[in-house]
Chains A and B, each alone.
Chain A
């Protein structure tokens, strides 16, 4: 009786930690009182407070998934040049905060020597915002870290320079739920076949009514298969979205050949100039081809190259296409325009051209 272990102690429900205890003193002292900023060189931001205080930010690309040795290596640099203060951006870039301009160049040299690119500021291609993939997700169609590494290798030059018409945000998602979010370019899994159902397991591991309820097109219904309660899919209705797979793993949506990749363009989260937009389909059915996804790389390269050459200053990807029109986009990039580019989902008619406005 007495050797029953004591229950663990209840957690201290701290909630969100107060950032002030970890914030660079210059940022803390000038909190809410900044005046202007400029960019002395790509990868460096220089902010000036109303008090006259200044701070230099050196932005470095990371792998997002970091080992503790890497974390400590980066901490050593922050101790040496930044009085021990740094922060992360929403896209997993690391910002080193320097109180003194003279620290900037030696820090950049040390970062580059250790293999970290410095960039991602101004009109550059930022870090790919991505998901977990095969490393940790329970429903992934592809990897995320590997796709990201492959893409960042090909855009490295445009991460460390500011040569694009406007900033470019690339995202990648390893299933159609699209956890990676909207992007100027989005590289997302696109399933191509209805789920393959293991009828021996459905009745045992799936809560069938909730699986039926998850389907966006009501294509799933309860059925008895081989004398066992299971589910069946109307394959003519099925849009291959994979929504049933998460609540019911025996409805396998992934397959070596069936899981494909689609590339989308023109998503934008900022309100600058035009309103925020969702990304639009460019190419589907690319093979899921690790470890480098060369077919995806080729499509992304083409889109970036065409945008870089053709867009005017400050046009985001979607704004550039709005100016030149979709016919010119498909013509200049050389991608095929198919019936699958015409929307079929709710509100589809809003995406049609209700006018005689035509570009020739």
Chain B
């Protein structure tokens, strides 16, 4: 077939085959020159991409393509320059949810590759920004058979549009000593419980969960997720003083002071004269820095769980929002703990579904209704961990202050100092 195929020249893209980093252009050309059925499609794809490099414009438009039974998960792409590049006039993507933690056997990757050679372009993205495997480049006709085979392999479509989106978790429990809860379990329990919201988009806008096992937040949950679950612990950091001494012996006291003691954001570390350390665990904010620097000497405590931050998102519409701490600590060990997390996730999704305007994210919705109203709707008590500092503006009506204070004392007791 490739004998008759008129190869589009790609002088601009060819430039991207130079240099030490592996080139996606070389990959696209391998598919073009494969002699397989998708060769002409990839030739025209390269032609259109070169045209974009020439014109500095994109030439894809959306549309509606789905598989039987689902409303989302396919990203339809139709070429706006199909006359010149007819073979890639339809170039849809199947978003497919990966195993939590993105673990693969070569066996499953080979099976996926075979399916994608038969029904698609042979081009696979590992992974999209939400965490999907992106099977990229499929005609409308082949979407259903490609999905049926991936589905028979045990895989399911991910999210797109105003829906629950595919989620991501860090490597966590599988290979990390910092991990404070079973991230893959939390991810699977929540997403699989609310899967209907992914496959049949009916939310005001997208809703994303992300799961990181500690404050290092390797999956960028606080920035990017409407619902971020960040592992932490309540008891003391575990110290192996022999390893502390060994580390100081290796790097020297000056380096240790400059790189560990003074880098602690709450000045909770004190170096003793015998090169052991003390940690003021009441002041420690679980930032992870000292554990990152000395993973052999320091470990998270035993009373583990997660903090939950809500409302993170990127620019559209009102500007970037950081996730906001709503639940300082939720124990995550027993079956019941995980059930509680799933239930809370459902309450937040319900609030979003009931209250957000069209195309409004959770963080924007909270800003519009006001944080106190949001907390009240979810039945969450105000907690000083939620804030950087109390309000500085006097523009607020406080005639029910005593009743609110009474609620606080009823829960926390009244200390002698407050009497």
Q: Collect the chain B residues with CB atoms within 8 Å of residue A288's CB.
A: 56
B187 sits at the interface (CB 8 A): yes
Cross-chain contact of A16 among B128, B136, B188, B223 (Cβ < 8 A): B188
Chain B proximity mask over A292-332: 1 for CB below 8 Å, otherwise 0: 10000000000000000000111000000000000000000
Q: Collect the chain A residues with CB atoms within 8 Å of residue B65's CB.
A: none
B258 sits at the interface (CB 8 A): yes
Q: A269 touching B53 by the CB < 8 A rule?
A: no
Count of chain B residues near A, Cβ 8 A:
129
Q: Collect the chain B residues with CB atoms within 8 Å of residue A16's CB.
A: 97, 99-100, 156, 167, 187-188, 191-192
B155 sits at the interface (CB 8 A): yes
In the complex where A19-B99, A134-B49, A241-B315 touch, is A152 in contact with B21 (Cβ < 8 A)?
yes
Residue of B nearest to A269 (CB): B220
Q: Collect the chain A residues with CB atoms within 8 Å of residue B316's CB.
A: 177, 214, 216, 241, 243
Q: Collect the chain B residues with CB atoms within 8 Å of residue A63's CB.
A: 21-24, 27
Q: Collect the chain A residues with CB atoms within 8 Å of residue B365's CB.
A: none
Nearest CB in chain B: distance from A48 CB, A: 8
B93 sits at the interface (CB 8 A): yes
Q: A67 touching B289 by the CB < 8 A rule?
A: no
Q: B289 touching A22 by the CB < 8 A rule?
A: no
B216 sits at the interface (CB 8 A): yes
Q: B97 touching A15 by the CB < 8 A rule?
A: yes
Q: A216 touching B358 by the CB < 8 A rule?
A: no
Which stretch, A23-31, A102-110, A196-204, A333-341, touches the partner chain B? A23-31
- Kindly count the residue-residue contacts between A and B in the assembled complex, taking CB atoms under 8 Å apart: 355
Chain B proximity mask over A271-289: 1 for CB below 8 Å, otherwise 0: 1111010100000000010
A146 sits at the interface (CB 8 A): yes
A47 sits at the interface (CB 8 A): yes
Q: A181 touching B123 by the CB < 8 A rule?
A: no
Q: A135 touching B129 by the CB < 8 A rule?
A: no
Q: A290 touching B53 by the CB < 8 A rule?
A: yes
Q: A68 touching B136 by the CB < 8 A rule?
A: no
Q: A87 touching B12 by the CB < 8 A rule?
A: no
Q: B34 touching A69 by the CB < 8 A rule?
A: yes
Bound: A69/B42 CA distance, A:
14
Q: A68 touching B122 by the CB < 8 A rule?
A: yes
Bound: A209/B230 CA distance, A:
38
Q: B217 touching A269 by the CB < 8 A rule?
A: yes
Residue of A nearest to B31 (CB): A67
Bound: A272/B288 CA distance, A:
5
In the complex where A11-B68, A47-B177, A256-B56 touch, is A65 in contact with B93 (Cβ < 8 A)?
no
In the complex where A16-B192, A19-B103 touch, is A37 in contact with B147 (Cβ < 8 A)?
no
Bound: A244/B77 CA distance, A:
19
Nearest CB in chain B: distance from A97 CB, A: 8
Cross-chain contact of A65 among B136, B264, B299 (Cβ < 8 A): B136
Q: Collect the chain A residues with CB atoms within 8 Å of residue B34's CB.
A: 69
In the complex where A66-B126, A176-B315, A346-B319 touch, is A18 in contact with B188 (Cβ < 8 A)?
yes
Q: A9 touching B148 by the CB < 8 A rule?
A: yes
Bound: A9/B144 CA distance, A:
10
Q: Collect the chain B residues with CB atoms within 8 Å of residue A314's CB.
A: 259, 263, 289, 293
User: Which 7 pairs, one residue from A and one from B, show the smallest C-beta to C-beta distance?
Assistant: A153-B19, A271-B215, A15-B192, A134-B52, A75-B106, A152-B21, A19-B99
Q: Which residues of A approach B to under 8 Å, CB–CB?
A: 7-19, 21-24, 27-28, 31-32, 34-38, 47, 55, 57, 61-72, 75-76, 78-79, 84-90, 92, 94, 115-117, 129, 131-143, 145-146, 149-150, 152-153, 156, 176-182, 210, 213-214, 216, 241, 243, 249, 254-256, 259, 267, 269-274, 276, 278, 288, 290-292, 312-314, 345-346
Extra contacts besides A11-B67, A64-B125, A213-B358 (17): CB < 8 Å: A16-B156, A19-B174, A31-B182, A32-B182, A71-B112, A71-B124, A129-B129, A149-B24, A150-B16, A177-B314, A181-B129, A254-B58, A269-B220, A270-B216, A271-B217, A313-B258, A314-B259
| Pairs across A and B, CB under 8 Å, 17 listed | A14-B154, A14-B155, A17-B156, A19-B99, A19-B101, A71-B124, A72-B113, A75-B109, A85-B105, A90-B168, A139-B58, A145-B24, A146-B53, A153-B18, A182-B223, A216-B318, A276-B322
